[in-house]
Amino acid sequence: MARVLVVEDDQFVRSALIRHLTDASHAVRSVGTALEALREVAHHEFDVVILDLGLPDLDGAEALKMLRGITQVPVIVATARDDETEIVRLLNDGADDYLVKPFSVEHLSARMAAVLRRARGGAQGGVGADLVIRVGGLAIDPLRRQAVLDGRSLDLTRREFDLLAFLARRPGVVVSRRELLAEVWQQSYGDDQTIDVHLSWLRRKLGETAANPRYLHTLRGVGVKLEPPQEPPREVARELPRSSPRP
């Protein structure tokens, strides 16, 4: 069971979603405007938000940005816009997934299940799910969704944390962009720009750049790997031979 907020101004679609989600034993609240959605999120805890873009008071894309300013609750965008550039922009702005209207209730259920699994950080994923992952000065706690670098807590978005944790579980292993899309974004296809943007943000928070990487290394045309920084070789002082004392 999940706590779901449905943000949809079309009464027919809204009623159908409420009926389906309630039948699936979810606890559902619903609103018809962006302002009401912000109020609901500010006063109640939700496990997932289903956000329509065509809202009467504010475009859903702007509402998404405002939601991300106050919460990291997973957001599934429901949109009639199937333009790839627009979808990439929504994902970069903080959407966890999207559905293009019209969609079936089965499709919605599958996307919700995938998003909720990621959001719960594998807490129900079996033995060892709560172990802290350590790579160099990085310590990542999947259960508490916390990441620390050299004793300093990192302020990561949900997607940045998922990306970092996924790579940290495979230190030194090159992961392809296709695998990242499938495992982190739960998408079978997408634009490499989505990954590049998140990698750029993550590098900045790790105190590195693509030109001077420490943890994140990109192999052009192959993929990305995370590994501990290489320590510079120590210079070994050579002891000069002592001159023999003169007789």
Amino acid identity of residue 121, one-letter, is G
The rounded Cα 159 to chain-centroid distance in angstroms is 1
Chain length of the chain: 247
The reply to whether 143 falls in a domain is yes
How many domains are contained in the chain? 2
Residue 103 lies in a domain: yes
Whether residue 157 sits in one domain with residue 95 = no
Domain that holds residue 67: 3-119
Q: How confident is the model at residue 147 (pLDDT cuts 50, 70, 90)?
A: very high
Same domain, 138 and 165: yes
Give the mean pLDDT of 40-63.
89
> 110 and 11: one domain?
yes
**Residue 190 has what pLDDT?**
61
Answer with the residue of higher pLDDT: 84 or 241.
84
Cα 126 → chain centroid:
21
pLDDT for 23 equals: 87
Judgement on whether residues 137 and 114 belong to the same structural domain of the protein: no
Task: Using the 3D structure, point to which of 56, 91, 119 is the last residue of a domain.
Answer: 119
End of a domain among 87, 119, 151? 119
Q: Decide if pLDDT at 66 tops 70.
A: yes
Does residue 63 belong to any structural domain of this protein?
A: yes
The reply to whether 237 falls in a domain is no
**Which pLDDT does position 68 carry in this prediction?**
84
For the segment 38-54, the average pLDDT, to the nearest whole number, is: 90
Query: How much is the mean pLDDT over the chain?
Result: 82
Residue 93, in any domain of the structure: yes
Q: What is the CATH number of the domain that holds 194?
A: 1.10.10.10
Answer whether residue 127 is part of any domain. no
Residue 233 has pLDDT above 60, yes or no: no
User: Looking at residue 54, what is its pLDDT?
Assistant: 87
The domain that holds 112 is classified in CATH as: 3.40.50.2300
Q: Global pTM?
A: 0.54
Query: Which pLDDT tens digit goes with each residue over 219-230?
Result: 887 889 999 887
96 Cβ neighbours under 8 A, 6+ residues apart? 74, 75, 76, 115, 118, 119, 158, 159
Q: Alpha-carbon distance 168 to 131, whole Å?
A: 12
For 89-107, the pLDDT digits (tens) are 888 888 888 888 888 888 8
Residue with tokens 């979603």: 17
Identify whether 212 is part of a domain: yes
Please enumerate in sequence order all residues whose Cβ is within 8 A of that of 4, keeping only pairs 6 or more positions apart, or say none. 21, 26, 27, 28, 29, 46, 47, 48, 49, 50, 112
In this structure, of 74-88, 123-137, 190-204, the range with the lowest mean pLDDT score is 123-137
In a domain, 76, yes or no: yes
Query: Domain check: are 13 and 103 in the same one?
Result: yes
Q: Cα(63)–Cα(198) distance, rounded to whole angstroms?
A: 21
